[in-house]
């Protein structure tokens, strides 16, 4: 890497800031969580591969966490079906488990290397990808520049830029352009995202819609679902999913307010970070409520107030036992979380107003009547109570959410069309490689 590139990387980190680079946060989290990851795989963070590279063309696909992994899974399956090897990197243990559960040995999973030159160089030297596909908003200067130096095409799919990230990039347009010009194509989620990428110098940019709409409905174990339904019985339920710090206490307060009118109420809380479950349970119990944790195998007793869904990969279970879902990171935190899964699983959707990261999805849901925004705990309690008391209106919201999802489908097809010029030569190369019994 030239001295100019090195200066660019340093100035980018200095001026744009860590908020625009998720890998900085990932590095801090990695240092803080040492010892909690899979044994023997720490080296992958520094680009040390744990398996050999297969022969033939190979595409590197990166999805940061669970949401991105779920979104990109159908795309990865389509690529693998073409006979091309995929090394799929993620940044968390939970997303690694999702890769194993949904893709198994169809792909090679590795933890993403830190955005440090030695780690990135080691990773790229070993895997020698023919194409790099990055999902959503992972913008790493060192990785982008190293791929550019090696002339590896880079495509950003399901691309989005939050208000904050766009504002940070926009302050230093020359730096943004120097990085984004390395992207061979950006496939953006929405027209707003597409225009933002164009403003920052990305070319070409197309708009596909959200890949998360084309994912399969979250799976469920039928036996576990039946067991949970038996424990709940005829009790009224609502769920608060993907909650962040502070929201669990608000939800518990809402439960207390609602219980005066709905004495059989059971509230399900699914925190975004399950490792906070013990802390959450303790705080709610201090409020005088009884909490059951799924991770401990706790039973739901008649006097259980809160069922804490602190297990990984069970969103399909929790959303199948309720018809009302509040989506978190929207009252006490900024950005919101994905509302499409509850829409797919027949829930009327409620959310706080801070949903900038999923603006397009919420705008469509709200316009069609599938979601409503609330400003505080009193408004949230009122909305849940209204939906309990008006099953016809609840069903209208559920049907509107399902129709919205159906109308939004097609992103996978549009994304594959954008990727075709990059993938088709590799498909031909893979066929030749198979015939000749060698690589390249």
Residue 26 lies in a domain: no
Whether 48 and 71 map to the same domain: the answer is: yes
HSE-CB for 139 with a 13 A CA cutoff: 32
Angle between helices 117-127 and 141-149 (to 10 degrees): 40
> Which one is catalytic: 68, 138, 247, 341?
68
Boundary-marking domain end, from 171, 192, 214:
214
In a domain, 8, yes or no: no
pLDDT of 17 over the 50 cut: no
Same structural domain, 148 and 59? yes
Is 403 found in the same domain as 304?
A: yes
Percent of the chain exceeding pLDDT 70 equals 90
Confirm whether 176 is domain-assigned: yes
Query: Which of 214, 233, 257 is the endpoint of a domain?
Result: 214
Per-residue model confidence (pLDDT) at position 438: 55
The 10s digit of each residue's pLDDT in 100-116 is 999 999 999 999 999 99
Domain coverage including residue 89: 38-214
294 and 201 in a common domain: no
Averaged over 162-189, what is the pLDDT?
A: 93
Q: What is the pLDDT of residues 288-328, one digit of tens each?
A: 999 999 999 999 999 999 999 999 889 999 999 999 999 99
Do 334 and 198 belong to one domain?
no
Whether 391 is in a domain gets the answer yes
- The model carries a pTM of 0.87
Residue 425 in any domain: the answer is no
**Domain boundary pick from 183, 214, 245:** 214
Query: Do 49 and 168 share a domain, yes or no?
Result: yes
- Which CATH number do you get for residue 89? 3.40.50.11720
Domain at 387, CATH number: 3.40.50.2000
Residues 145 and 244 in one domain: no
Q: At residue 440, does pLDDT exceed 90?
A: no
pLDDT confidence bin for 204, thresholds 50/70/90: very high
- Statement to judge: residues 201 and 62 lie in one domain: yes
Q: Please tell me whether residues 108 and 229 are part of one structural domain.
A: no
How many structural domains is the chain composed of? 2
Residue 94 within a domain: yes
228 and 250, same domain (yes or no): yes
User: 138 an active-site residue?
Assistant: no
């Amino acid at each position: 890497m030239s001295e100019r590139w090195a200066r660019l990387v340093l100035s980018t980190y200095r001026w744009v800031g860590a908020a625009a680079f998720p890998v900085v946060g990932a590095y801090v989290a990695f240092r803080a969580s040492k010892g909690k990851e899979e044994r023997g795989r720490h080296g992958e963070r520094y680009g040390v591969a744990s398996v050999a590279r297969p022969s033939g063309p190979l595409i590197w696909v990166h999805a940061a966490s669970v949401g991105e992994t779920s979104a990109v899974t159908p795309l990865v399956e389509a690529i693998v079906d073409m006979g091309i090897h995929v090394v799929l990197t993620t940044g968390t243990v939970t997303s690694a488990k999702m890769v194993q559960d949904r893709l198994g040995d169809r792909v090679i999973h590795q933890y993403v290397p830190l955005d440090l030159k030695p780690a990135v160089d080691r990773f790229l030297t070993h895997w020698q990808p023919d194409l790099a596909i990055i999902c959503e908003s992972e913008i790493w200067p060192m990785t982008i520049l190293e791929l550019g130096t090696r002339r590896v095409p880079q495509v950003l799919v399901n691309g989005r830029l939050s208000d904050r990230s766009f504002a940070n990039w926009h302050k230093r347009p020359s730096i943004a352009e120097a990085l984004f010009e390395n992207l061979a194509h950006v496939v953006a989620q929405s027209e707003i995202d597409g225009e933002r990428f164009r403003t920052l110098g990305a070319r070409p940019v197309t708009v596909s819609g959200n890949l998360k709409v084309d994912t399969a409905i979250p799976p469920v174990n039928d036996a576990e679902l039946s067991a949970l339904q038996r424990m709940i019985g005829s009790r009224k339920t609502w769920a608060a999913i993907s909650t962040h710090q502070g929201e669990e206490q608000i939800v518990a307060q809402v439960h207390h307010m609602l219980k005066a009118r709905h004495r059989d109420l059971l509230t399900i809380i699914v925190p975004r970070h399950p490792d906070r479950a013990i802390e959450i349970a303790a705080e709610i119990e201090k409020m005088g409520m009884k909490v059951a944790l799924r991770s401990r195998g706790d039973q739901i007793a008649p006097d259980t107030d809160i069922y804490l869904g602190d297990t990984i990969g069970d969103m399909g279970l929790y959303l199948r036992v309720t018809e009302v879902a509040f989506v978190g990171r929207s009252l006490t935190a900024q950005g919101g979380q994905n509302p499409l899964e509850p829409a797919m699983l027949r829930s009327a959707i409620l959310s706080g107003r801070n949903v900038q990261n999923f603006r397009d999805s919420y705008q469509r849901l709200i316009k069609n009547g599938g979601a409503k925004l609330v400003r505080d705990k009193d408004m949230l309690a009122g909305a849940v109570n209204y939906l309990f008391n008006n099953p016809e209106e609840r069903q209208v919201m559920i049907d509107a959410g399902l129709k919205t999802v159906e109308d939004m489908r097609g992103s996978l097809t549009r994304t594959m069309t954008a990727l075709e010029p990059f993938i088709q030569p590799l498909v031909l190369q893979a066929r030749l490689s198979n015939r000749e019994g060698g690589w390249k």
